[in-house]
Amino acid sequence: MEELHDLDAGRTDGYVVVETRAPEVFAQARIPGAINLPYREMTPESTAHLDKNLVYVCYCESPQCNAATKGALKLAELGFKVKRLSGGITSWIAAGYPTEGDTEGDKAPGIRCAC
C-alpha cells in the first residue's frame, strides 16, 4: 500500500504506471500520470522508447482481470523491471484514490475490462 500512497502523492520517481488494457478504457478512467501500453501490443518495437532503468507498474481493471499480469510478464521478457498493482483500477478507486479521464470518480467502476 505504501507504493499506492507514493503514486497518489505524485511521487513517481523511478516508476512508470502502465495501463495494460485497450485505449478505449484508458481514455475513460486511469490512474493519474499513467501511460497506455496494451499488453497485446507489447513488442520490442513498441517498447523501444521506454527507459529500462525505470520500474514499470502494470495495472488493469480488477483482481479478475489478468491484463496486468500478462503485461508485466511481457515487459519482463523484454528486459524491463516490473511490478503489478494488485486489484487494478477498481481497488485504486475503492481505496479513494483519484482518477483522470473522460469518466471520473463514481462512474469509473462501471468500466468493463476490455482485455
Which pairs from 1-10 meet CB under 8 Å and 24+ separation?
A: 3/57, 3/83, 3/85, 4/85, 4/92, 4/95, 4/97, 7/31, 7/33, 7/57, 7/97, 8/97, 8/98
- 20 or 11, which is more confident: 20
Confidence bin at 63 (pLDDT 50/70/90): confident
CA-to-CA separations, 91 to 5, 45, 81, 84, in angstroms, rounded? 13, 31, 23, 13
Q: What is the pTM of this model?
A: 0.81
Please report the domains of the chain, with CATH numbers, ordered by start residue.
2-108 (3.40.250.10)
Average pLDDT, the chain: 85
